[in-house]
Amino acid sequence: MRPPTTPNPEMNARGLVTAGNAAIGIQSGNVAKHMHPRTDEIQYIIEGSGATWLGSERKEFKGTAHGGTIVASGPVQAIAIKIPPEPKDDTTFLD
């Protein structure tokens, strides 16, 4: 069963647990380069490989522990931990 589609057409996300100070979910697919001004995010890759942007640097990943995922082999799935839980308006897409 696939997670529900998010406003990002190539990314799927499913929330698993939300507590007062953090949220944990599963994400898969591609998302454009972006940032979360009010939320810290930790991504732990559990399947697939590709690249992601960290600031102005593109970093390759392959089964290791944000923004703008470029899938090389997949599907890429990640556990996403967001501290505090991400408000709906806390994603700013970048060029």
CATH architecture group of domain 11-87: Sandwich (2.60)
The CA-to-CA distance between both ends of the chain, in Å, stands at 32
The pLDDT, as a whole number, for residue 82 is: 93
Question: Is-contact 9 51, C-beta < 8 A?
Answer: no
* Whether the Cβ atoms of residue 51 and residue 67 lie closer than 8 Å to each other: no
* Cα 67 to Cα 27, 30, 86, distances in angstroms: 12, 9, 14
66: tokens are 């944000």
pLDDT digits (tens, 9 = 90+) for 69-94: 677 887 788 889 999 998 888 888 88
pLDDT recorded at residue 3: 44
- Domain ranges within the chain, ordered by starting residue: 11-87
